[in-house]
Amino acid sequence: MTTDTITTTGTVSRYWKTGLIITQADLSGIISGDPGPTTAPGGERCRSLPPSSVPGLQALEEHFLASMNALASADGAPEVTDCQVEIQVWREGYDQPAFSCQARYAGWTILAASPAPEHAESGCLAFADPRAGSAGTAMPGLPWGRQFLVTPVPGVHAVVPGWLTCSVVPLERNQHVTVAAAVSAS
């Protein structure tokens, strides 16, 4: 399943009975240009950029908070009042094996990306099926084990519960993605 199959935007969707928000964010006024290519070749595969690299950081934080609060409301949980946003550049070879976080919610917004990679899944965010019985491997004919992939195209915005197992599919040679990664503070 990829972001192309999502029919609702800006609302809580349920996959595996788990609330997720996957939508297209309007990046107007948030970022101008792509700071990713300014990183030196052969440098770090994941590099944090200063907050000043995104002029509309406040608007981006508000977008994350709105999505986190939509999930909180759908789950009957308390309101999220703050989040921390980190701007990162992911470069060729970067990947992140299965991880989750201690925060109530985690989110990503793709701010910029190099042209489409040769391999369709390269650089995708992958969300694992959390249901019992899923070994994380899709088996033909079985309803569980399929991960949900979010393609790294500018404007894609995803917010999920912090406990949900996520990963980043390795980026291929000459590929880069500039992403805002956020976690809820409350």
157/179 Cα distance (integer angstroms): 10
Structural domains of the chain ordered from first start: 3-33+45-184 (2.60.120.620)
pTM: 0.83
The 10s digit of each residue's pLDDT in 8-40 is: 345 656 666 788 889 899 898 888 777 666 555
- The confidence score (pLDDT) of residue 2 equals 34
Averages of pLDDT over runs of 10 residues in the chain (186 residues) are: 37 70 89 68 79 90 94 92 94 85 94 80 84 60 70 92 89 89 89
- The CA distance from 122 to 29, in Å, is 28
